[in-house]
Structure formats: C-alpha cells, structure tokens
Amino acid sequence: MYLSAAYHRIPLSDGNSIPIIGLGTYSEPRLTPKGTCARSVKIAIDTGYRHIDGAYLYQNEHEVGEAIREKIAEGKVQRQDIFYCGKLWATHHDPQMVRPTLERTLKDLQLDYVDLYIIEIPMAFKPGDEFYPKDENGKWLYHKSNLCATWEVECHPYFTQPKLLKFCQQHDIVIIAYSPLGTSRNPSWVNVSSPPLLKDALLNSLGKKYNKTAAQVVLRFNIQRGVVVIPKSFNPERIKENFQIFDFSLTEEEMKDIEDLNKNVRFVEMLMWCDHPEYPFHDEY
C-alpha cells in the first residue's frame, strides 16, 4: 500500500475512502480557550490533513466547521477533500433521537453532510441534553439500549489488537484507532498505572534511527498495518509533526519487534462507568 502526504486514503468496502491519518479535536470545553480548535483545524488542513475527527460532546463542532469552511473559501480544499467523522453521544442512543442529533451536528458545522457518524461509546445514559446525568446522590443514570452498530477501537503498540485486526481485514473493515499515542493521563477515564507508551526504549531507539520521535514511529506502525489513526493535538508543532510519517517506513523485522511490545494494556478503561450493565470491558478483568 503506497501512502504519501499528498495522497493517503485507503478504500472502504462501500467504494468510498478514508484518509489514514486524522486530527482528533477532543477538548475539555471549560479548559480550552475559545478559537483554539478552529486554529488547530486550519493549521492541520494547511499541513495536509484531510480527516478531522470530532463530536457534539466536545462542544467545538462550530469551530471545526468554521475552519473547514474558511479553507474551502480560500480555495485550499473542496468539501469532498475533507473527511469529517462525527459521533453520537451516550444520551442520544434511542432511535428517534439519532437523526435530530445528527442534524444538530450539521447545524453546528454549517455543512451539508458528515462522512462518517458513529456511536461514541457502547453504553447508554439517561436520554436527554445533560451529557453526564446523575441522580441527587451523584450516582450515574444509565439507560438500556440496543446497539446494532460498531464503534472505534483503541489500538497502539501496547494494545495491538491482533485478533480484531485480522478479523477486520478478512471482512474488509477499516479500524480507526483512538488513543493511538496512549498519551492522555486523565485519571477519570484512563488507567494511569499503565506504562507511558512514548517512553518505550524500542520506540525511542527506532526514532533515533529514522530521525523521528517515538510518537511518529507509533503512528507509522499503525498506518503501515492499514489502521487509521486520529492523534489529538492543539499544539501547532505537534500537529505538523504527527503528519510527518510518510517519508519513512519500518522494516518487517521492526514491525514484528513493535508487535511484540503488546501487553494487552488498554489505557482507556472508563472505570467510572464499570458498573454499567453494558460496560464493554468486563471480560478483560
């Protein structure tokens, strides 16, 4: 599979295609200055990104849309060049809520369509506009739902998901890897006792060999396996750095060495919701 900075789309089974690297736009709304996301998306598009990953939950889709529309107006890209992935949050899983929620995303983006719309997490909360509903005692308000769709998969050298990857390849399913760098250390939803991925000795030694960072090696590893990556960053230099993964390739032996790093360690455990009847990781513990 030939991938370059200019063209790095991989085919989907329905005849469409998806850019193999995207910009993640997750942020804590209360902690992120206004305009940060818009600036980052514009920098990403100027750098060469054509895949933007967002969600209504992030409360910044209006900034994402603003940036995309500005770059279209400049003539930098056309709408069909951009692949936007939006997400359905856990309080809107009821079938009758899906279309209105998608339409709200389109209104915020001020775009005619999204390229992909997925379920953010495979658990439902009490339906409504409150993102994280709790009762008067601070207990989570869950909701039973019937999930008939799939969702993204965490995937990185410490959690390589070989069985899932093989199954998906056999059935022409493309994996989108969230947390591809394993860098978030938010204790509310991340297992912070897990070893920091980017400090791994092998990844750093390969980085020195290719004059790359450990993060670039990690991203190259996944795209070389045909896995789409969506590293999140609002740092201009990191956004550009994460995209510079098309000018080198890992050898078969190096790919195998990285695969052998697998510890079946999942960083994103969402343990605050482990008592949910639909909690997806019970069989891992």
Q: Which of 181, 98, 184 is nearest to 145 (CA)?
A: 98
Distance between terminal CA atoms of the chain? 37
CB atoms within 10 A of CB 48: 16
- Name the average pLDDT for the chain: 88
pLDDT surpasses 60 at 32? yes
Domains and CATH numbers, the chain: 7-271 (3.20.20.100)
Identify the residue whose tokens are 């230099």: 237
Amino acid at 104: R
pLDDT at res. 181: 83
Q: Is 58 a catalytic residue?
A: yes
User: Residue 165's pLDDT band (boundaries 50, 70, 90)?
Assistant: confident
More confident residue, 96 or 61: 61
pLDDT surpasses 50 at 149? no
For residue 63, report the phi and psi dihedrals to the nearest 5 degrees. Answer: -75, -40
CA 238-165-198 angle, 5° bins? 30
Task: Give percent of the chain with pLDDT exceeding 70.
Answer: 87
pLDDT surpasses 50 at 68? yes
pLDDT surpasses 50 at 194? yes
Compute the distance between CA of residue 69 and CA of residue 246 in angstroms, rounded to an integer: 27
Compute the distance between CA of residue 132 and CA of residue 130 in angstroms, rounded to an integer: 6
Selected catalytic residue, list 26, 56, 58, 158: 58
Global pTM value: 0.86
SS3 for 233-276, per residue?
CCCHHHHHHHHCCCCCCCCHHHHHHHHCCCCCCCCECCHHHCCC
Q: Which of 157, 263, 243, 264 is nearest to 206 (CA)?
A: 157
Lowest mean pLDDT of 45-49, 52-56, 243-247, 278-282, name the range. 278-282
